[in-house]
Structure 1
Amino acid sequence: MTAFMQHTAALVVGLCSHGLAVSRALQRSGINVYAAEQNPQLPGAATNSIRQLFLVDSFADEQLIPALLDIRRQLAQYQQVVLFATNDNHVRCFGVHLQQLSTAFCISWADSCQAVLRLQKKSELEQIAQQNRLNYPKSAVLSTTDTLAQQLDGFRYPVIIKPVQPLSSFKTQLAANLNELSAQLTQYQADLPILAQEYIAGGDESLYFGALTMDHGKTVQAMVGRKLSSYPVARGQTTVAEVVQEPEVIALTEQFFAGFNLSGPVSLELKKAPDGSFWVIEPTVGRTDFWAELCIAAGFNQPLQEFQLALSQPVTVTALNMNISWFDAERAPLSYWQAVWQHKSLRPYGKRAAFTFWQRSDTAPFFRACRNLLKRLSRKHL
């Protein structure tokens, strides 16, 4: 370990499977890794990739900010500590309280904080896409269920709805007609405002994401992934994905983020319509995406690059391995074995498999995840 590395560290907020992937990638790169988590029973909390787990009472801003500052005081032996977000609420929290946090931590996207906060808002995406000459589904932000017919006049059904605020009580819902949409909005009235969009036809395999690491608006490294399965189907969180060659997705991703002068990891989800056109679904900014392990396993070490950018260090870029698929054992525990059965091969899709929990050098999270799954299945059976 270099003298520089000895005086720096990373603090990962959240040890879901995504936070676990980030922690492991950093630790394998020789970085001192610490984590903050409110649930010590998560599989990721059992990892040997962190030096210490700091328990926090809550991830709500009013508890999290003082807790992070207190953790930084406990890490006073390090000259610089890089802060890592693992979900959109963390990113928003860090951005809103950047003035406080920047006195204690380094954040890769601190210089572009306002752009990151703007890109988080689904209500802003249509304007951004149109300004950058990209296809975006016909949309409306619904702040009330009154005059619904007028607000969606001329919309083609089915319509998909998404909460504007991150980590609301639902991710997406699909409505076949106005009556069904009205019932859904009544059910999720506490999550208003809600974004309504015309649904772009196509299944899981029509969903792509362009992942970039950026340095003040310039692309450092890029990769394209394609969803093979998601939950809910074709409109939910990725459960199986693969690395693919799709230069158009990279070009469109760079086009979407042009002009924002961003640094750190970003990604853009796009959907390929039946006519071959690509449509913007949503960006991820201020953090790596949930499927970060796919990038890491392919040789695109975004967490390391984020760490290096935050400290103004040269960024490490390595060649991509296109022969990788990824399975989310957190949301879909049996997804790999289902694919094995379907393809009659331990290398489904003809690619080496990467997983959320399993790693030979760090087996405790896998066995804890298995234990938790057995408990859930037992309760369901009873």
Structure 2
Amino acid sequence: MRSRWGKARRVSTLEGPAFMNELQRAVASMGPRVLLFLTEEKTVNTVSELRASLPVSVLIRLPEHQRLMELMHKQGFQELAEAMAAPVPRTVRLQSSQDLPLVRGLNYPCVLKPSEKNYEYGARFKKAYKVGSAHEVDALYRKIEPVLADMVVQEWIEGADGDIYFCLQYIGGQGEVVSSFSGRKIRSWPPRIGGTASCTAAWEHAQELSDTTASFFRQVGFTGMGSMEYKRDARDGLFYMVEPTVGRTDFQEEVATVNGCNIPLAAYCHEMGQALPAMSPVSPQRVWRDEQADRWSREVSGEAVNAAALTGFPVVDAQWRWHDPLPWLDDISRRAADRIKSKFHK
């Protein structure tokens, strides 16, 4: 919204028929061809379901709706991955407390998390919980069930935040890989179970992760903007799929751009019939860092060193750009306002 490089337009909602009406008004003055990039799961749901009502000028690459919904649901993805013999940890779906006996056969520790993104759940609970026993799952789930009954319990893959890898891709209409970038997390927030706080390129595993991701996407018929998260098991050194992000950009998508692989630009050029930009791997590779989340992660884990000291690579801040400072200034002002508000509410 604040960037000098974009033209902001505020809308009343990001989902449902009302959003589609807002979208039609927004693109009316944008020219004969507009490529749509989505960033929210709820918007992906809406655009996919109501794609027939998109203006003819709007282009977006999506797989068939039912397949997209399966990939966005953790149990749906699990069943697809198992059918494709893809490397995934064992997972049990909980739809009510009557399903709790199913978790007794899992090997612990495990992770308890929602089957799909839910905003009411996110406002009251953590993104995921590491649980040490079926009894712990039982106690936690009974608290969560009134808010969100559809949860999964997945066997834990041993390793630290630095063992979490990902592959960001754009897949063309014939299943071809238009652009691909492999990276790894440095820190998560909250540690071990949260989103990306800092990350960098993973050139040493790029081919394996790109091939594995592209193969899975090809088998399930996925096209468009997507990614796959992996965790490398400290016990056997193998990569296991954790979950995909489909139909939208990933939170850490910019780590690819700062390391020489601009995936949205490649997607745009591909869909507009233009020559693809060359991928120019940056050396030394860059660390992309959400400074606030990375600092919180360091403080909780007791680590004194920052991402640059930890990796030796230059750091690019997620918000700060000297030639485009307003996003950073807006973020700083919001944090200050939140701190003042919290003091007055104590």
The reply to whether TM is greater than 0.5 is yes
Give how far 1:304 is off: 1.1
The answer on 1:286 being equivalent to 2:247 is: yes
Give the corresponding residue for 2:191.
Answer: 233
Give how far 1:148 is off: 1.0
Give the corresponding residue for 2:132.
Answer: 176
Give how far 1:80 is off: 1.2
Q: C-alpha deviations, 1:104-133, integer Å up to 9, x for none?
A: 4111x1465543333212112222222332
CA contact (8 A) 1:347 1:353 kept: no
Q: 1:293 to 1:344 in 2, by over 3 A?
A: closer
Give how far 1:289 is off: 0.8
The answer on 1:79 being equivalent to 2:32 is: yes
Could you say what secondary structure the match of 1:84 adopts?
coil
Out of 141, 145, 151, the position equivalent to 2:93 is: 141
Give the corresponding residue for 2:22.
Answer: 67
The alignment covers a number of residue pairs equal to: 332
Out of 84, 89, 101, the position equivalent to 1:132 is: 84
Could you say what secondary structure the match of 1:379 adopts?
helix
Could you say what secondary structure the match of 2:250 adopts?
coil
Q: 1:120 to 1:199 in 2, by over 3 A?
A: same
Give the corresponding residue for 1:48.
Answer: 4
Out of 100, 112, 115, the position equivalent to 2:53 is: 100
Give the corresponding residue for 1:40.
Answer: none
CA contact (8 A) 1:263 1:309 kept: no
Give the corresponding residue for 1:258.
Answer: 218
Give how far 1:273 is off: 0.7
**Structure 1 residues 186-335: aligned runs within 5 Å:** 186-189=142-145, 190-215=147-172, 216-245=174-203, 246=205, 247-274=207-234, 275-321=236-282, 323-329=285-291, 331-332=293-294
CA contact (8 A) 1:293 1:354 kept: no
Identity %: 22
Give how far 1:225 is off: 0.7
CA contact (8 A) 2:229 2:242 kept: yes
Q: C-alpha deviations, 1:283-317, integer Å up to 9, x for none?
A: 11112210011011111111112222333443323
**Structure 1 residues 25-44: aligned runs within 5 Å:** none
Q: 1:333 to 1:46 in 2, by over 3 A?
A: farther
- One-letter identity of the residue aligned with 1:125: F
Provide the rounded CA distance (Å) in 2 between the counterparts of 1:148 and 1:261: 33
CA contact (8 A) 2:168 2:227 kept: yes
The answer on 1:118 being equivalent to 2:78 is: no
Q: 1:130 to 1:98 in 2, by over 3 A?
A: same
Query: Structure 1, unaligned stretches of length 5 or more?
Result: 1-44
Provide the rounded CA distance (Å) in 2 between the counterparts of 1:345 and 1:164: 31
Q: C-alpha deviations, 1:256-304, integer Å up to 9, x for none?
A: 2122444333211011112112111001111221001101111111111
Q: 1:67 to 1:172 in 2, by over 3 A?
A: same
Query: Structure 2, unaligned stretches of length 5 or more?
Result: none
Greater shift after overlay, 202-211 or 320-329?
A: 320-329
CA contact (8 A) 1:327 1:336 kept: no
**Structure 1 residues 361-376: aligned runs within 5 Å:** 361-376=323-338
CA contact (8 A) 2:287 2:315 kept: yes
CA contact (8 A) 1:112 1:260 kept: no
Give how far 1:139 is off: 1.0
Provide the rounded CA distance (Å) in 1 between the counterparts of 2:299 and 2:328: 15
TM score, norm. by length of structure 2: 0.87
Give how far 1:47 is off: 1.4
The CA RMSD measured in Å over matched residues stands at 2.6
Greater shift after overlay, 245-254 or 222-231?
A: 245-254
- One-letter identity of the residue aligned with 1:213: Y
Q: 1:131 to 1:175 in 2, by over 3 A?
A: same
Give how far 1:354 is off: 1.5
Q: 1:123 to 1:265 in 2, by over 3 A?
A: same
Provide the rounded CA distance (Å) in 1 between the counterparts of 2:143 and 2:97: 11
Provide the rounded CA distance (Å) in 1 between the counterparts of 2:111 and 2:298: 28
Q: C-alpha deviations, 1:128-149, integer Å up to 9, x for none?
A: 2223322211111111112412
Give the corresponding residue for 1:350.
Answer: 312
Give how far 1:347 is off: 6.3
CA contact (8 A) 1:132 1:255 kept: no
Provide the rounded CA distance (Å) in 2 between the counterparts of 1:98 and 1:312: 22
TM score, norm. by length of structure 1: 0.79
